[in-house]
């Protein structure tokens, strides 16, 4: 009898808790995958496709599903890999590709023929121009993804590293200077 009562209590508990959980899973359902959003926030949003995914979001989704490695994003650099590893609890791996300094595209306006191909290629709308009119890059909006380079028929786009100015200059990490000790004269 005691056993039956115990089973009944446990069964009742299971039913009540199951109903509560079922209700909660419908009522508090989270739209989308919050992990994808967190990963995407770390990615640099250059939309360059160097990871072989068509944009940062697809790459974030692939990482979240475990299909892609975390070291495929050269613009994010080693720091990005580190932060992804911290977020996902994965092992830090060296970058697949070479890390480059931040660059911005420059259009040689003398050579540009106004074909609009680079405008169509730019993922972040950082190029202005119209058919048969000179095009130019809005430098602050350029992410340096290099996607405008291949379509240009006259090769008038080049990449230049972002130069340091007083406005974007950073204080350096204080480094202790190591000097060779003065040699004592042989007594």
Partner 1 sequence: MLASLFRFKGGVKPPTHKAESTGRPIAPAPLPSRLVVPLHQSIGGTPKPVVAAGDRVLKGQLIGEADGWISAAVHAPTSGTVREIAMHVQPHPSGLDALCVVIEPDGKDEWIERQPVDYRLLPPEEVRERLQQAGVVGLGGAVFPTHGKLNPSKTVPMEELVINGAECEPFITCDDLLMRERAEEVVRGIAIFRDLLQPNKVLIGIEDNKPEAAAAMRAAVDALGEPFFVIQVPTLYPAGGAKQLIRVLTGKEVPAAKRSTDLGVQCFNVATAYTAWRAIAHGEPVVSRLVTVTGNVHEPRNYEVLIGTPMDELLKLATPHPDTDGIIMGGPMMGFLVPDIHVPVVKATNCLIAHNDRLFPPKAPEMPCIRCGSCAEACPHELQPFEMYWFARAKNFGKTQEYAIFDCIECGCCSYVCPSRIPLVQYFRFAKSEIWAREREKNAADGAKDRFEFKQFREDREKAEKAEKLAKAAAAQAAKKAAEAAAAAAAGDAAPATEAPVAVGAAEDPKKAAVAAAMARAKAQREAAQPKNMDAVTHEQEREMAAIDARREAAGIADAPPAAAEKKAD
Interface ranges with partner 1 (CB under 8 A): 40, 43-47, 55-56, 123-126, 140-141, 143, 164-166, 168-174, 176
CB of 123 to partner 1, least distance (A): 5
Q: Do 105 and 124 form a contact (C-beta atoms < 8 A)?
A: no
CB of 16 to partner 1, least distance (A): 42
Six-digit token pair at 174? 């204080």
* CA gap 73, 50 in Å, rounded: 7
Q: Which is nearer to partner 1, 21 or 138 (CB)?
A: 138
CB of 68 to partner 1, least distance (A): 19
Q: Which is nearer to partner 1, 49 or 93 (CB)?
A: 49
Cα 135 to chain centroid, rounded: 28
CB of 56 to partner 1, least distance (A): 7
Q: Which is nearer to partner 1, 29 or 170 (CB)?
A: 170
Angle between helices 56-65 and 34-42 (to 10 degrees): 130
Hey, what's the torsion of the CAs at 24, 30, 36, 37, to 10 degrees? -130
Q: Do 47 and 145 form a contact (C-beta atoms < 8 A)?
A: yes
Q: Which is nearer to partner 1, 18 or 102 (CB)?
A: 102
């Amino acid at each position: 009898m005691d056993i039956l009562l115990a089973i009944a209590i446990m069964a009742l508990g299971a039913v009540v808790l199951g109903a509560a959980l079922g209700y909660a899973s419908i009522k508090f359902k989270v739209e989308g995958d919050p992990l994808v959003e967190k990963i995407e926030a770390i990615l640099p949003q250059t939309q360059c496709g160097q990871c072989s995914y068509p944009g940062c979001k697809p790459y974030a989704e692939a990482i979240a599903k475990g299909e892609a490695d975390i070291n495929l994003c050269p613009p994010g650099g080693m720091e990005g890999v580190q932060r992804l590893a911290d977020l996902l609890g994965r092992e830090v791996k060296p970058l697949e590709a070479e890390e480059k300094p931040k660059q911005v595209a420059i259009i040689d306006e003398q050579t540009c023929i106004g074909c609009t191909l680079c405008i169509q290629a730019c993922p972040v709308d950082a190029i202005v121009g119209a058919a048969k009119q000179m095009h130019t890059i809005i430098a602050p909006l350029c992410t340096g993804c290099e996607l405008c380079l291949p379509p240009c028929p006259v090769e008038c786009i080049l990449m230049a590293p972002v130069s340091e100015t007083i406005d974007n200059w950073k204080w350096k990490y204080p480094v202790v200077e190591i000097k060779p000790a003065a040699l004592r004269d042989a007594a």
